[in-house]
Amino acid sequence: MTTRQAEVRELREGRYVVIDDEPCKIKSISTSKPGKHGSAKAKIQAEGIFDDSKRRMKAPVDDRCRIPHIDKRQAQVISVQEDIVQLMDLETYETFELRIPEDLEGQIEPEDEIDYLEAMGRRKITGT
């Protein structure tokens, strides 16, 4: 299960939501009052977890949206080759390769332990 359903009114800043099939971290939420012709609306500004692009969503607060399951994990670095790092998950012992983020280039060495997150079948290194 990579996502679950929730009402827009349950969303909070700092949590996650799926916008345009991309898991995003919510940066701000503002709501308008219910009007004569409808329910209250929410304006959500978020940033993509994997592509860092800004996304916006407008929806009635009683609409349903998708919430991604974010799994924060740790892995050990097996080897580093240019901008690709081979990792082994510390719980499952699964090995896989990920691209090193620009802000961590040159800081990751073999046998280091790093943090990564997994959401909707994709992974990203978040820190050392």
Q: Is 52 left (phi over 0), alpha (psi -120 to 50) or beta?
A: left
Q: May I ask the CATH architecture of the domain 3-68?
A: Roll (2.30)
- pLDDT score of 87: 96
Tens digits of residue pLDDT in 55-76? 999 999 999 999 999 999 999 9
Q: What value does the mean pLDDT take over residues 40-54?
A: 94
Per-residue pLDDT band at 1 (split at 50, 70, 90): low
The residue ranges of every structural domain in the chain are 3-68, 70-127
Give the DSSP letter of residue 5: E
Give the separation between CA 42 and CA 89, rounded to whole angstroms. Answer: 38
- State the pTM of this model: 0.83
pLDDT at 37 > cutoff 80: no
In CATH terms, the fold of domain 70-127 is: OB fold (Dihydrolipoamide Acetyltransferase, E2P) (2.40.50)
Give the separation between CA 23 and CA 66, rounded to whole angstroms. Answer: 9
